[in-house]
A and B are shown apart, each in its own frame.
Chain A
């Protein structure tokens, strides 16, 4: 849009140095110019300073001057104020500024009027006028080069008929600056005015709700035609109209205040078109009249401008969420009956209903805050003086701007301001401070409610409202000034107190006597007439006038980090403690690490999304418009737990990032591979956090991660919570337990939750195995190196990482093959299925080897290779693989033919957990993969949890007994094995078969099928063995005797039991022998897999000259692999 570009251009012209986008870098902790601008003029967050120029405001002398002090009506006479004129998208603002007196305004009046409150925003003189309120702008012909504009507003002219003799509000502004600058400003203004015209209807609506309109028109009506006033009902000015306003109206001199305000409004405009002159500030200091209080609060706080922007938001919100429930609503409901219960209005359904609606609507519009106790009290107080909609918008201003962070979920604002208050006390009243410290009285426990509920439940209501009057005009510093004054006035007595109790009672009694004379024994009646409250106000605003908004901002900055750190350590403590029983499996360090990492990723992600959102919006040229006018301020700082409402759930993308900093395999191979969420990150490279993020490891994406995500998340739609992550990791990283890990992995692929994984699942599992291992085994954690020093021998032997990786490929290959081999047909009993099974076995064989061959081409082992290539490399689409190189065409045909039935959906097959377990344990590498690598690939705290895992040996036992647990049917049959396992003893005579039988005897028919397959496998094995020579037979026999000798296949299950007894690490020799055998075998396997890579074969032989390849082919399934390959 032209407009925005114009705006931006204009802005860069004016003050390029000040042109800052609301970025979220740490330097942004200093409020941006835009936010200061909004603060100063109480503008909505949608507004930005577009133009500013030095100017002089010339106000005409009052037309109607009852006191008769305005007869010297000279043409250009009137009050003149020098200051700055600002233009935002929808507002024209003027404020006197101490630093920018125009040379032309040499009139003493200028300095005089600027007064003490000079330059402090709405507490200064000037105006904040929505552009829609400006009816006409005229360029005046003036002498010399003075560029002056006469503005006419809609003030009082929006009604159906204007009373006779109506004079529109009109004032003059003289711009001071180069002609060019003035022209530019006027251009901006012109455009703004055109835009502003759209809002005139809104203006009509909100102005109608203002009591001032009624006051002025009604008063006039009464004077001229009596019937006109009767037509108009007074607008809602709060519960006070029904239930009386607190305090004695006469004593408060409500009528005369009303008259003074009526006069002020007539002269200076009302509500949206009000111009602030010094009288305005004085009128506020003496206390607002009841019926105008709500409206003036609205104007001074700026909530009027929010209401102007969307007058129907309140009612719309209520109807939109009508009937819905939330935690906040429950909390609100609990407190409704206990909010200002002493006020009659809140003993009635009417009052309670209003309170309920306002709090509820706000909890919907700002779900981050929701509802905080104390809001009920504040809103109840507001509702005495204003309508529901007015209170709703004012509450929003309170939460977002005036009391930042007070009601957030961590209440950091409250704590921060207490720190600030304490430090101010220390600074201004060192003696008292020292006394309090010495007596161990914690000031903040006393002062906290003052701030949190704006003195409303500390002081009698009438006085609390007087504080509020000033607070809405001058901002948060008022709370501090009043607090300090309270302590100063009671200083003497407070120096006598010894403990919290007496401290509190001194102040309590002071508050209860606020209406008494401050100097009861004074001779001077005037002095005697001064109440303690008046004294308080004087002390607060005179004696502590040095406490400015700037002071508060500086102090907040100073203490912010300490306060946030306190809150965060508390939150972390609590959060970790609340993670439930599962978290106990992890060490405190690990939990701490997970916690930190989780939130780091979460916030990083949040900030990035925010940046991207802004970027997007900027690109769409929509920066000017905010989607919602309420809610957290745009320049709100985010990214810390202590700042309160934090996202509690990660989406999948964030989860990937979490994994990427936790496990190597989750790091993307090609750093610049953009997924959808990463797009656009280039465009703001170098922007604060985004830059640092770019340097980090980019997460990859893999189906396995998606499965992990779905498995961990309670509700994947909602995202994944810290609890989910901890529970997920606790299961893997808890006491080392291979059985558990295997089951966990299996469950990941058990899509239907029925204990089976189908063909597709098996392939995906193997894919995942390759995915997880594609970065090698992290150098240090090779499959043969674990906590066991004893295995170091093996590691030494297999320093060559490549060979480990390659061997793992082989393992995965045989994994697939075995899976298909032992899989059960999903439509059992059918012979065809069994045959298909055979085919499938074969197919898997070839498939496996095939894929490996292919992998080699693709250099799968290369750590830097792309994930995607892994992906395609694995056997998902075998027909696409280029068969040419290593297989003659005929063989290729057979492969694809046999592959087809394996993948034939008409012959569905599946594996069960026991089968899967068996297959895993049949392979040393896979076994080690699940035993150590898989859980250890998740890196948590720096000092690994080796200590924790050391205890794991025995835990294998316990979980082993769980293997059967999910299948109660099996209880009778499996009982002996369970018992045996728990005891760590498997009857030696049973060996592999025995244990297998135990598994098989799970009682499930499927398992019986496995047994059958095992038998078949054995037969096949025997057949194979015929061509193999005697040694091998012997070895087989040995194994099937179930002797605990150097077995590899028996580790399937038998091994477990012996580990349980501690045999695993206890017999290094045996272990190493066994490993040696197996290594050799695997060496052979890899060799064969790689397709007659003679050199490698030779290497292997050289490595183990004692063992001939054939000799080593002991374990049943491996044997088969070898066979197939050798045959081919």
Chain B
């Protein structure tokens, strides 16, 4: 993980509470682990209740400190969720691109958040386990410029499938949720949308960067950088949606490059 740039110190810093929701074993904890430690473990202890981690994300104008609540995915833990998404400014709703039922579950979470969580919460829909699909390689290419991401072993596996461009109907492709379906849903609901691989690191940082960008400055409770970013209250409201649209559009290399240097 690369150090923050020098400019960081001068930038206003604020913390954002982010909650991860999604079906069991879609890779919520792995996403966080990738984001926070740039690491991946095959056998992670299941999350009991919720795990708490923090990570900074540096934007051109400010630094966002994510306070990440990584919740347990087992169905019965769902009734604990309200405890965790309380006051959250951002949410990552994760599904598994190889498991359609997980998208359904994700939709329920989105509905739940939209109705019950704090108004103005920024929600990102994330399809994880992209490494199991055929377009993994292509997508991996996008994220490769990302500094600090060493090529993971999975990249090697994917090399054989290089020639296949389309995700559909090819052998060895475990994808069950078409990108179009999920992105259409995300657009409809005004969510950020990404497909990621916690295993290879594809798009992981982009998700968090996009969220950081989408948080309206007015809703940031300032951290140590005191007072910064509070002056633009009037801009709130329109901002988050606008940002998300922008991000949806230029998902890929562009976002990756200006991504946070965490």
Please give the residue numbers on chain A whose beta carbons come within 8 Å of chain B beta carbons, in ascending order. 331, 334-335, 337-339, 341, 372-374, 376-377, 407-412, 414-415, 418, 440, 442, 444-445, 448-449, 452-453, 457, 499-501, 504, 566-567, 570-571, 573-574, 577-578
Interface CB pairs A-B, < 8 A, 14: A337-B43, A374-B46, A377-B45, A410-B76, A411-B76, A411-B80, A415-B83, A442-B86, A445-B83, A448-B80, A500-B52, A501-B52, A570-B82, A577-B108
In the complex, chain B residues whose CB is within 8 Å of the CB of A570: 78-79, 82
Complex: chain A residue closest to B51, CB-CB:
A449
Minimum CB–CB distance for B26 against chain A, Å: 12
**1/0 contact trace for B78-106 toward A, CB 8 Å?**
11101110110000000000000000000
Contact check, B25 vs A449: say whether CB atoms are below 8 A apart.
no
A residues less than 8 Å from B52 (CB atoms): 445, 500-501, 504
Stretch at the interface among B66-74, B119-127, B176-184: B66-74
Residue of chain A at shortest CB distance from B74: A373
Asked whether B112 lies within 8 Å of A440 as measured between CB atoms, the reply is: no
**Could you list 8 further interchain pairs (A-B, Cβ under 8 angstroms) beyond the known A445-B50, A577-B112?**
A331-B74, A334-B46, A338-B46, A373-B48, A418-B83, A448-B50, A452-B48, A566-B82
Contact B112 A573 (CB under 8 A): yes
Interface residues on B, range: 20 to 34
The 8 closest A-B pairs by CB, nearest first: A448-B49, A337-B43, A338-B45, A449-B48, A373-B46, A409-B76, A373-B74, A449-B49
Query: Which of A376, A440, A445, A577 is in CB contact (< 8 Å) with B46?
Result: A376
Q: Which of B22-37 contact A (CB under 8 A)?
A: 24-25
Choice from B67, B76, B77, B112 contacting A499 with Cβ under 8 Å: B67
Whether B80 and A414, one on each chain, are in contact in the complex, defined by CB atoms closer than 8 angstroms, is yes
* Residue numbers in B under 8 Å from A376 (CB-CB): 46
Chain B residues, Cβ within 8 Å of A499? 15, 67
B107: nearest chain-A partner, CB-CB = A577
Q: How far is the CA of A544 from the CA of B221 in the complex (A)?
A: 37
Chain B residues with CB below 8 A from A341, complex form: 43, 45
Partner of B77, one of A337, A338, A373: A373
User: Given the complex of chains A and B, what is the CA–CA distance between A483 and B80 in angstroms?
Assistant: 20
Are B112 and A574 interface neighbours, CB within 8 A?
yes
Shortest Cβ distance from residue A678 to the other chain B in the assembled complex, whole angstroms? 35
Q: How far is the CB of A664 from chain B (nearest CB, A)?
A: 35
Interface of B is mostly: mixed
Per the bound structure, the CA–CA distance linking A334 and B24 in Å amounts to: 10
Closest to A369 in B: B76
Shortest Cβ gap from A483 to chain B (Å): 14
Are A501 and B46 interface neighbours, CB within 8 A? Answer: no
Give A445 to B47 CA distance when docked, in angstroms: 12
From A338, A408, A504, contact of B76 by CB (8 A): A408
CB within 8 Å for A445 and B74 given contacts A338-B45, A414-B80, A415-B80: no
Chain A hits for B44, CB < 8 A: 338
B111 at the binding interface (Cβ < 8 Å): yes
- Indicate if B54 sits at the interface (CB-CB under 8 A): yes
Is there contact, CB below 8 Å, between A457 and B45?
yes
Q: Which residues of A contact B43 (CB under 8 A)?
A: 337-338, 341
B80–A573 contact, CB under 8 A?
A: no
Q: How far is the CB of B95 from chain A (nearest CB, A)?
A: 15
Q: Which residue of B lies closest to A503 (CB)?
A: B52
Q: How many angstroms between the C-alpha atoms of A295 and B111 in the bound complex?
A: 49
Whether the pair B67, A501 counts as a contact (CB closer than 8 A) is yes
Residue of B nearest to A414 (CB): B80
Q: Which residues of B contact A373 (CB under 8 A)?
A: 46-48, 72, 74, 77
Q: Which of B54, B84, B112, B115 contacts A445 (CB 8 A)?
A: B84
Contact (A445, B48) CB under 8 Å given A411-B76, A571-B79, A578-B108: no
Contacts of B75 in A (CB 8 A): 409
Measured in the bound complex, the distance between the Cα atoms of B45 and A373 in whole Å is: 10
- With a cutoff of 8 Å between Cβ atoms, the chain A residues found around residue B69 in the complex are 445, 500
Q: Are B72 and A442 in contact (CB under 8 A)?
A: no
Contact between B46 and A335, CB atoms less than 8 A apart: yes
Question: In whole angstroms, how far apart are the Cα atoms of A567 and B79 in the complex?
Answer: 6
Residues of A within 8 A of B86 (CB): 442
Pair B77/A377 contact, Cβ less than 8 Å: no
CA distance A504 to B54 in the complex (A): 11
A1065 to B69, CA, bound (A): 58
Give every chain A residue within 8 A of B82 (Cβ-Cβ): 566, 570
In the bound complex, do residue B79 and residue A411 qualify as a contact, i.e. CB atoms below 8 Å apart?
yes
Query: B127: shortest Cβ distance to chain A, in Å?
Result: 20
In the bound complex, CA of A445 to CA of B67 (Å): 13
- Nearest CB in chain B: distance from A82 CB, A: 45
Contacts of A571 in B (CB 8 A): 79
The chain A residue sitting closest to B52, CB to CB, is A504
Q: What separation, in Å, do the CA atoms of A263 and B229 have in the docked complex?
A: 71
Residues of B within 8 A of A410 (CB): 76, 79
Contacts of B80 in A (CB 8 A): 411, 414-415, 448
Whether the pair A442, B77 counts as a contact (CB closer than 8 A) is no
Whether the Cβ atoms of B67 and A500 lie closer than 8 Å is yes
Taking a contact as CB atoms under 8 Å apart, the answer to whether A331 and B112 are in contact is: no
Residues in B with CB closer than 8 Å to A504 are: 52
Partner of B83, one of A377, A444, A457, A574: A444
Question: Closest residue to A451 on the B side, CB-wise?
Answer: B49
A280 to B84, CA, bound (A): 42
Please name the residue on chain B nearest to A409 by beta carbon: B76
The one of A418, A442, A577 in contact with B111, judged by C-beta atoms closer than 8 angstroms, is A577
The interface residues of chain B lying within 8 Å CB-to-CB of A574 are: 78, 108, 112
Alpha-carbon distance between A795 and B47 when the two chains are bound, in angstroms:
65
CB distance from B227 to the nearest CB of A (A): 16
A602 to chain B, nearest CB (A): 19
Q: Please give the distance in Å from B247's CB to the nearest CB on chain A.
A: 26
A contact residues around B77 at 8 Å (CB): 373, 411
The reply to whether A331 and B24 contact each other, CB–CB distance below 8 Å, is yes
Complex contacts, B17 vs chain A, CB 8 Å: 500
Please give the distance in Å from A448's CB to the nearest CB on chain B.
4
- CB–CB A457/B76 < 8 A: no
| CB closest chain-B residue, reference A335 | B46
Report B135 CB to chain A, min CB distance, Å: 26
Q: How far is the CA of A412 from the CA of B74 in the complex (A)?
A: 15
A573–B115 CA distance with the chains assembled, in angstroms = 10
A571 to B87: give the CA distance in the assembly, Å.
21
Q: What's the least CB distance linking A380 to chain B, in Å?
A: 11
Q: Which residues of B contact A414 (CB under 8 A)?
A: 80
Complex Cα distance, B43 from A440, in Å, reads 33
| Nearest A-chain residue to B82, judged by Cβ | A570
A415, B48: Cβ atoms closer than 8 Å: no
Complex Cα–Cα for A418 and B79 (A): 13
Q: Which residue of A lies closest to B81 (CB)?
A: A570
| Chain A: minimal CB distance from B102 (Å) | 14
Alpha-carbon gap, A445 to B52, bound state (A): 9
Query: In the assembled complex, which residues on chain B have CB atoms less than 8 Å from the CB atom of A453?
Result: 48
Contact with A372, one of B45, B76, B116 (Cβ below 8 angstroms): B76
Contact residues in A for B25 (Cβ distance below 8 Å):
334
Residues of the B chain whose Cβ atoms lie less than 8 Å from the Cβ of A566: 82
Give Cα A570–Cα B44 distance, bound, in whole angstroms: 29
Question: What residue in chain B is nearest A334 (Cβ atoms)?
Answer: B25
Across the interface, do A452 and B49 meet the contact criterion of CB distance under 8 Å? Answer: yes
Closest CB of chain B to A544's CB: distance in Å? 23
Question: Closest approach, in angstroms, between the C-beta of B37 and any C-beta of chain A?
Answer: 16
Q: Are B48 and A374 in contact (CB under 8 A)?
A: yes
Q: How far is the CB of A565 from chain B (nearest CB, A)?
A: 12
CA distance A501 to B52 in the complex (A): 7
Q: Which residue of A lies closest to B15 (CB)?
A: A499
Distance to closest chain A CB from B51 (angstroms): 9
A8 to chain B, nearest CB (A): 40
Complexed CA–CA distance, A18 and B117 (Å): 48
Q: Closest CB of chain A to B2's CB: distance in Å?
A: 22
Smallest CB gap from A342: residue in B = B45
Verify A501–B115 contact, CB threshold 8 A: no
Closest to A453 in B: B48
Closest B residue to A644 by CB, please name it.
B76
> How far is it, in angstroms, between the C-alpha of A664 and the C-alpha of B44 when the chains are bound?
56
Chain A min CB distance to B70 (Å): 11
Chain B proximity of A870: nearest CB distance (Å): 45
